[in-house]
Amino acid sequence: MADWTSDTIDWSRFDPGLVAPELLRVVKAAALVEYNGRDYGAYLAAVFADDPAFAAAAARWAEEEVRHGEALARWAQRADPDWDFAAAAARFTAGFRVPQDATASVRGSRTGELIARCVVETGTSSYYSALAESAAEPVLREICRRIAADEFRHYKLFYDHLRRYQQQERISPVGRARIGLARIIEAGDDELAYAFFAANAPAAARYRRKDWSRAYAALAYRFYRPHHVERGIAMVFKAIGLPANGWLHRNLWPLAYRFLVWRARRLVPEAA
Binding site for Fe ion (CB under 5 A): 34, 65, 68, 121, 151, 154
Please state, in angstroms and rounded to a whole number, the distance separating the CA atoms of residues 240 and 66.
Answer: 27
Please state, in angstroms and rounded to a whole number, the distance separating the CA atoms of residues 125 and 231.
Answer: 10
Q: How far is the CB of 65 from Fe ion (least distance, A)?
A: 4
Q: Which one, 98 or 268, has the nearer CB to Fe ion?
A: 98
Please state, in angstroms and rounded to a whole number, the distance separating the CA atoms of residues 190 and 162.
Answer: 26
Q: How far is the CB of 224 from Fe ion (least distance, A)?
A: 17
Q: Which one, 142 or 151, has the nearer CB to Fe ion?
A: 151
Residue 256: Cβ within 10 Å count: 16
Q: Which one, 120 or 267, has the nearer CB to Fe ion?
A: 120
Residue 172: Cβ within 10 Å count: 9
Please state, in angstroms and rounded to a whole number, the distance separating the CA atoms of residues 153 and 22.
Answer: 27
Q: Which one, 153 or 178, has the nearer CB to Fe ion?
A: 153
The CA-based diameter of the chain, rounded to the nearest angstrom, is 54
Q: How far is the CB of 170 from Fe ion (least distance, A)?
A: 27
DSSP string, 144-212: HHHHHHHHHHHHHHHHHHHHHHHHHH---HHHHHHHHHHHHHHTTSHHHHHHHHHHHS-TTPPP-HHHH
Q: How far is the CB of 147 from Fe ion (least distance, A)?
A: 6
Q: How far is the CB of 154 from Fe ion (least distance, A)?
A: 4
Q: Which one, 30 or 219, has the nearer CB to Fe ion?
A: 30
